[in-house]
Amino acid sequence: MPHEQVKARIDKVTGKLLIEGVGFQGDGCDVLKDIEAHLGQITNIEEKDERYTYVQPDYLPNAIAG
């Protein structure tokens, strides 16, 4: 599993904050929504291709699980 990172940039002139999630996949992208909401007004959201990538979890065979 890759490491997730959050990159934040603040524009010195305008004071706008840009947040970018790196390494998040599928529903993991929703983790940043609470943080973004607490930081202020959200003006733009751009979703990357990773938002629609889902990882199938590894299931245990029935003989091992039971």
Give the residue numbers spanning the domain of 38. 5-53
Q: Per the domain annotation, does 58 fall within a domain?
A: no
Phi then psi dihedrals of residue 63, to 5 deg:
-65, -35
The dihedral over CA atoms of 23, 34, 54, 21, expressed in degrees to the nearest 10, equals -20
Return the amino acid letter for 27.
D
Q: Per the domain annotation, does 59 fall within a domain?
A: no
Q: Per the domain annotation, does 37 fall within a domain?
A: yes
Convert the pLDDT of each residue in 25-64 to its tens digit.
887 778 888 888 888 888 888 888 887 887 777 777 766 6
The predicted structure's pLDDT at residue 10: 93
pLDDT: is 1 or 8 the higher one? 8
Q: Per the domain annotation, does 35 fall within a domain?
A: yes
Q: How many domains does the chain have?
A: 1
pLDDT: is 43 or 9 the higher one? 9
Q: Per the domain annotation, does 44 fall within a domain?
A: yes
Q: What is the pTM of this model?
A: 0.61
Q: Per the domain annotation, does 60 fall within a domain?
A: no
Q: Per the domain annotation, does 64 fall within a domain?
A: no
